[in-house]
Structure 1
Amino acid sequence: MRRGRFAPTPSGKMHLGNARTALLSWLHMRSLGGEFILRMEDIDTARSRKEWAELALTDLRWLGLDWDEGPDIGGPYAPYTQSERLERYEAAFRQLEAKGSLYPCYCSRADILAAVSAPHGLSSEGPAYAGTCRHLTPAERATRGLHKEPSLRFALPEGQEVIFTDGIAGPQTFPPGSGGDFVIRRADGLYSYQLSVVVDDADMLITDVLRGSDLLDSTPRQILLCEALGLEIPEFLHVPLLNGPDGKRLAKRHGGIAISAHRESGTPPERLVGWLAYVSGLIDRPQPVSASELIDSFDLALIPREPIVVDVPHI
């Protein structure tokens, strides 16, 4: 059984880019006769809000999307909210620790920036870590530990490149060390997105991960974690982002991007779904259509391979 998911972060109102990813992931699974899972990625509790998680459910249902398992309806792999799954992340952390895959890092953000000679990092996570703390002696670690609680980093395997074929972006090759050793647990004890998403996808038997292309360069990290933890690697599919007329990623500055604003203003959901389908290449003109009407004709090959420039006021 094919199983896909949509996993929003409830750190703000759901916007057009989120909705498009949800729609495409939902259509992908429904067109294959698969199961669609909804998961709330609220691992960063400082930024997440319960009211935004509830609003996301309302917005998704208004768009005509449903799910087979989720935080509101449960399912065999519950809980579906990351803040309720900390024991699972702790178990995976201990497994990595026992394998010797982790090491303590005492660097501050300023230290990391000062050690960078070239960015070569992840677009979503800043410059690559230079490995400053990777080869500290036990004595050096003990001395630094007197002054700072360390984060724990995953040591990238020496000399290992990561090669995979993305279902939309095509063949991908990441050279050894891409992005640098990355944080698994922060100094304040918060587990990272990279660890939590890998554990969640494995626990929930996710076979297909369709998400935005801004997460494409996170994929090699997640593949390496799957290998280190002995987990199945899902198929990855990264869709190009929506950009505003200025060529930059669609954001609040472009106006009119919150789904709730369209819903509350009386916009018919079919109108918004039709616009999302049009900008995603699924239909040849922006016309009202329900999500369910798009299932039979859905084809990944129709989705553009480059970022899409949109003009929100013309929805």
Structure 2
Amino acid sequence: MSATTADGGRESALLRFLGKAAKLLATVALTFLGLLLVTFLIGRVVPVDPVLAVIGDRAPKSVYDRVYLELGLDKPIYEQFWMYLRKVFAGDFGESFLTKRPITEDIARVFPATLELATVSILIGTILGIPLGVWSAVRQGRLVDQVVRVLGLVGYSAPIFWLGLLGLLVFYARLGWVAGPGRIDISYEYSITPATGLLLLDSAMQGEWEVFGNVFSHIILPAALLGYFSMAYISRMTRSFMLNELAQEYVTTARVKGVPEWRIIWVHALRNAAVPLVTVVALSYANLLEGSVLTETVFAWPGLGQYITNSLQSADMNAVLGGTLLIGAVFVALNLLSDLLYTLLDPRVRRQA
């Protein structure tokens, strides 16, 4: 191969990479812009007067008119949207009418609790869901398969708030195996210095194992319930992917060659099934981050879900829109991450790129 041909191949590969990167960035930008537009329109469609939310319903009309102009509500809708975009890109989500603090400070305070709960939950769901899905696929049609599928069906069908109340009644009120609602007992609340906001990590880093045990006792029940919900989805998708892989010709060839069955299942088939499973786990994680509102409410968990719920009940739309925008951004980021991991793990996708 000549040097000219090699240089041309490298330039072609570079151009393909740059083109793919540009398309990816454009897609993310358009998605985020659409997310901003949706959150802005939600704030305008919801039947809540933003002026009254600021000044109350007893303020005189002169104050109402002044705040109305300050909020820019007299301007056309496209100008209001432009003002909204400028503030968001400057990191200004406004001030919470409920807490009287900037939305960014409130979110920075409550989001670590949701992140910690979702992370423990997805670890439980993944560690249990993948082996159960593999086992179910290997034992297709047998008792084990039926049991796993029923467990998944219950996890999909049972209301999470009902499971939460039942769990509190049984494991907290009756058996006393776990701590009650909340994130940490008040007697331990000031025993550690918050560094990351993740209490399990902070207490372990500082060697406060008694605090770690108390935090773990609080988080294990809500995390187990959310983990059960994600396990139902992950095990079902793992079963589907494994059934597809076990029907491939390379599995038959490996069996003919005398490759041990455990190696065929856990090394060859699962490795190929792991590529689409990355997307499944990432989307499950995103769903836990944005869908744990009811769980946080039942367990009085001071996270983003409870913050948005309380803000919505108080007509604090700045806080609601700020929290909704963060959840949407996290969802977009996790989707992007799963696409990148998919490309790295699957050689066929890399060659097409």
Same topology, TM > 0.5:
no
Q: TM-score, normalised by structure 2?
A: 0.25
Query: Greater helix percent: which structure?
Result: 2
> Which protein has greater RCO, CA pairs closer than 8 Å, 6+ apart?
2
Q: TM-score, normalised by structure 1?
A: 0.27
